[in-house]
């Protein structure tokens, strides 16, 4: 599909880039570069049906290539499709399981799921998205990848300011932007572009950066990124931020072949802006991106946690324990939290989260129903086979039947002592099944059926 670039866009970048602008315009007409990541939170995570012979040099879990969204590798959370330039943003954050991290503009979840994979189910990750519809997509992607340490919120950055002042050790702002770097991946986005829209985005980003500064702990790290070429949203915003907050400074970041220094002349001629990073698709094997790493002066401080009640009653424990004794090899009782009739293994019990719109707090274990507890699909996607009493491997025909929403009829009577079993295909857990009378009754969520 031809990308129809406007005259204003072409004139702007010819003025900025000279003759090289034509190379950029030509690259925008080429096919976008596909890539994917593996998920180290899964058992035998390299056991996928996609080729791993073309790795991305700056990611130990990233590979060039396309994936099928209907494959078991994707459905079970073993792979995640992500544009290769965007992968480097998470590498700059250098997330660990000791961190409290905020991904402030997180949907659809590409960067937040990458961050979580580096945290190895430790620490705290808060993934926020202001758009309600996109926040639901974010939450579902976190569920599919088996992530347990993340609170998903649907709030504006301003909502965080009073509750989480100087709370986060690391913050990622993948700012909503004019999207110029994604024109060839999403040609429809060209229709929304204008010089005025660029200015609107730049102003919105300033407000986001103001909030981010207040949320960042002393000694903390802020990674700022956009998927646009626009200097107004990149060098100029970072120059403005450094002038407004003199206790923030840019850190040098490694640049791989094809990556380029930011342009001080596109900002305020501050030579520090060469520490920012640009990717243009005419020189780099990926889409257009800008990113930088900033650090706040001072030493990290540990904010005191104010815990809330878990909301559980004695009967609740008994129902879950009865389920666990019948179906699980063991049961962790860390940070259980009851919200309405649902049980979570909470990522945080901190009272600061009260008043925020929370879509998911950690791992959704299941639902209390009349005199029983039923597990949620999120739980099975976070478990490994050895944590279950029964992991049943479906063949291809059975897998397709189950995905379609039908029960699986077994020709032989299996030796199942338990009612709830884990279902796998090609060695990958993807759903619960409820066993009764030589049938595996279908409990796969209707929204996921094919």
pLDDT in tens, 35-91: 999 999 999 999 999 999 999 999 999 999 999 999 999 999 999 999 999 999 999
Per-10-residue mean pLDDT of the chain, 450 residues long, equals 92 98 97 96 96 97 96 98 97 97 98 98 97 98 98 97 95 98 93 97 98 98 98 98 98 98 98 98 97 95 77 88 92 88 95 95 96 96 94 96 96 82 96 93 94
Other beta carbons within 10 angstroms of residue 120's beta carbon come to 13
Q: Is 199 exposed, middle or buried (0-12, 13-18, 19+ CB in 10 A)?
A: middle
Residue 115 contacts residue 172 (beta carbons within 8 Å): yes
Residue 340 region by backbone torsions, left for phi larger than 0, else alpha for psi between -120 and 50, else beta: left
How far is Cα of residue 220 from the mean position of the Cα atoms in its chain?
20
441 is in an annotated binding site: no
What are the structural domain ranges in the chain? 390-450
304 is in an annotated binding site: no
Among 137, 214, 109, CA closest to 171 = 214
Q: How far is CA 346 from CA 106, 123, 449, in A?
A: 19, 12, 27
Q: How far is CA 46 from CA 52, 61, 171, in A?
A: 9, 9, 29
174 is in an annotated binding site: yes
Looking at residue 30, its pLDDT comes to 96
User: Known catalytic residues?
Assistant: 227
Residue 324 contacts residue 312 (beta carbons within 8 Å): no
The structure tokens listed for 167 are 């709370």
35 is in an annotated binding site: no
Looking at residue 330, its pLDDT comes to 87
CA end-to-end span of the chain, whole Å? 28
Residue 64 contacts residue 284 (beta carbons within 8 Å): no
The structure tokens listed for 230 are 């626009």
CATH code matching the domain that covers 390-450, chosen among 3.10.450.720, 3.40.50.300, 3.40.50.1220, 3.10.450.50: 3.10.450.720
In this prediction the pTM is 0.96
Among 424, 348, 351, CA closest to 383 = 424
């Amino acid at each position: 599909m031809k990308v129809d670039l406007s005259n204003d866009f072409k004139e702007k970048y010819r003025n900025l880039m000279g003759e090289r602008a034509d190379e950029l315009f030509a690259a925008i007409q080429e096919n976008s570069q596909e890539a994917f990541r593996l998920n180290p939170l899964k058992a035998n995570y390299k056991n996928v049906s996609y080729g791993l012979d073309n790795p991305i040099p700056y990611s130990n879990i990233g590979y060039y290539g396309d994936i099928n969204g209907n494959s078991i590798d994707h459905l079970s959370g073993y792979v995640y499709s992500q544009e290769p330039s965007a992968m480097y943003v998470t590498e700059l954050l250098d997330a660990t399981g000791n961190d409290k991290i905020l991904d402030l503009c997180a949907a659809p979840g590409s960067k937040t799921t990458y961050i979580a994979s580096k945290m190895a189910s430790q620490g705290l990750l808060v993934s926020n998205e202001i758009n309600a519809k996109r926040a639901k997509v974010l939450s579902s992607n976190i569920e599919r990848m088996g992530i347990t340490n993340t609170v998903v919120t649907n709030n504006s950055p301003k909502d965080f300011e009073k509750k989480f002042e100087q709370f986060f050790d690391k913050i990622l702002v993948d700012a909503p932007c004019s999207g110029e770097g994604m024109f060839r991946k999403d040609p429809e986005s060209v229709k929304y572009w204008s010089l005025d829209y660029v200015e609107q985005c730049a102003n919105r980003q300033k407000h986001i950066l103001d909030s981010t500064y207040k949320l960042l702990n002393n000694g903390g790290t802020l990674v700022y990124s956009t998927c646009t070429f626009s200097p107004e949203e990149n060098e100029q915003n970072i120059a403005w931020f450094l002038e407004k907050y003199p206790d923030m400074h840019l850190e040098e970041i490694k640049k791989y072949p094809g990556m380029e220094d930011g342009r001080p002349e596109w900002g305020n001629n501050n030579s520090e802006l060469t520490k920012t990073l640009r990717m243009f698709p005419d020189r780099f094997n990926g889409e257009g991106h800008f990113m930088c790493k900033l650090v706040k002066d001072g030493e990290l401080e540990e904010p005191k946690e104010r815990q809330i009640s878990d909301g559980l009653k004695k009967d609740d424990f008994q129902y879950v324990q009865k389920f666990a004794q019948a179906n699980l090899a063991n049961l962790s009782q860390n940070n259980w939290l009851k919200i309405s009739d649902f049980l979570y293994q909470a990522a945080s019990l901190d009272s600061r989260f009260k008043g925020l719109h929370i879509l998911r707090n950690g791992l959704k274990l299941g639902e209390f129903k009349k005199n029983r507890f039923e597990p949620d699909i999120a739980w099975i996607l976070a478990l490994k086979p050895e944590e279950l009493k029964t992991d049943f491997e479906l063949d291809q025909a059975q897998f397709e039947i189950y995905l379609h929403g039908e029960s699986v009829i077994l020709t032989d009577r299996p030796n199942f002592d338990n009612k709830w079993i884990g279902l796998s295909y090609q060695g990958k857990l993807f759903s619960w099944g409820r066993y009764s009378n030589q049938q595996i009754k279908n409990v796969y969520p209707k929204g996921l059926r094919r």
